[in-house]
A and B are shown apart, each in its own frame.
Chain A
Amino acid sequence: MEYIFEPWPWYVAGPLIALILFILTYFGKNFGMSSNLRTVCTIGGAGKFSSFFNFDWKSQKWNLIVVLGAIIGGFIASQFLTNDTHIDLNPATVEALEKMNFKHPGSSYIPAELYGFEAVFSFKGFAILIVGGFLVGFGSRYAGGCTSGHAISGLSNLQLPSLIAVIGFFIGGLIMTHLILPLLF
C-alpha cells in the first residue's frame, strides 16, 4: 500500500491512462483535455468574435466536469498521497539545468525559476508563462488536440493525423528545449 505514496512508475501510469481512455469511450465521449479551452471561450461570449465559438457548449459540459475532477485529483494527490515531491531526474538533466542557473532541479515538481514568486512578478517570468500558455492553447486548437487527444486517443485509434500532430509536438518541443530555452536562461 505504501507504494501509492511513492512516484508511480510508467508501467502503472500508462495502462491507467489507457483505462481512462476506455472509460470515457464507454461513456460515449472522448478523451481530450484541450477542447475545454474552446468551451470556456464560448461560455465567455467569444462567439461574438468568431463563429468558431458558436456551438452548443452545453454538449461539452461533461468535459468541464472532468476538468473539475482533474483539479480535485491534483489536490488529493498532492495533499494526501505524496510525501516527497522530489523528482529523480537523470544527473545529466540536472547538470544541464544547473548550467542554465536552475537551483535545485527536481526538488519540486515545477521550477521556481518559472513558477516562483519572483519569476511571476518579473516581466520576463510573466511573459514566459503567458507565451507558453498561449502557444499551448493556440497550437492545440490549430492541431485539433493535445497530448490526450492526439498522442493517446488519436494514436490508440491508429489515426495518421494524430501521428503527424505528435511529430509536430516533438519538433516544437525539441526546438524549444535545445535552441530556445538555453537562450532564455
Chain B
Amino acid sequence: MKSLKFLFVGIFFGIIMYKAQLVSWFRIYEMFRFESFHMYGVIGSAVGLGIILIQLVKRSKMKSIEGNTIEIAPKDKGFARYILGGTIFGLGWALAGTCPGPMYVLAGTGAFSILIVIAGAMLGTFVYGLIMRKLPH
C-alpha cells in the first residue's frame, strides 16, 4: 500500500523527536538562552548532512520512487513574509515550547493539553488565510 511508507516515515520522525527531547519545552527554553549546544547540534548536523544529500539528489538528477526526476521547489521570493512570519512563529515556538511536528508527537504521548495548542495553531492558520491579503509579503 502506497501510504504505508509515509506512516513509517512519520513514526520514525516521531521517535527521533521524542528520544532526542526535541519536543521538550525546557529544551526550547534552554536553546533560546544559549545554555546548551544540544538543539544547535541537532539542527546544525541535520542541515550539514542535509546540504550534502540534497546536492547529491540534484547533481545526480536522482529519480524519485515514482520514477520522475526529483525537483526540489525553491522557496517563493520575498522578505517581509519571512521576517514577520518567522518572528511571529518564533514567539509562539518559545511560548508553547513546540512547533507543529512536536505538537503531534506530544499528542501521541498522551499530553492532552497539547490539543489546546494544536487547536490554537489551526485557528492561527485559519486567521492567516482570512487576512493574508492585507499583510505585507
Contacts and interface: CB of A to CB of B under 8 A. Distances in A.
Nearest to A111: B25
**Main SS of the interface on chain A?**
helix
B101 A170 contact: no
B43 A14 contact: yes
Contact of B85 (A4, A9, A165): A165
Contacts of A144: 75-76, 81-82, 85
User: Which of the listed residues B64, B99, B135 has the most CB atoms from chain A within 10 Å of its own CB?
Assistant: B99
A132 B92 contact: yes
B100 A164 contact: no
Interface residues of A, number: 124
Interface string A53-70: 100000001110111111
A52 B135 CA distance: 14
B122 A73 contact: no
* Main secondary structure on B side of the interface with A: helix
Contacts of B94: 172-174, 176-177, 181
Interface string A13-32: 11111111111111111100
B20 A23 contact: no
A81 B15 contact: yes
Contacts of B12: 16, 20, 69, 73
Contact of B128 (A11, A72, A137, A166): A137
B96 to A, nearest CB: 3
B123 A133 contact: yes
A49 B129 contact: yes
B59 interface: no
Contacts of A146: 89, 99-101
A126 B116 CA distance: 8
A11 B39 CA distance: 10
Given A65-B3, A152-B50, A110 B111 contact: yes
Nearest to A164: B82
Question: Most chain-A CB neighbours within 10 Å: which of B43, B45, B74, B88?
Answer: B88
17 contacts: A10-B37, A13-B20, A28-B65, A69-B9, A71-B105, A87-B21, A90-B30, A90-B33, A111-B26, A114-B25, A115-B25, A130-B119, A131-B95, A133-B121, A138-B85, A146-B89, A171-B83
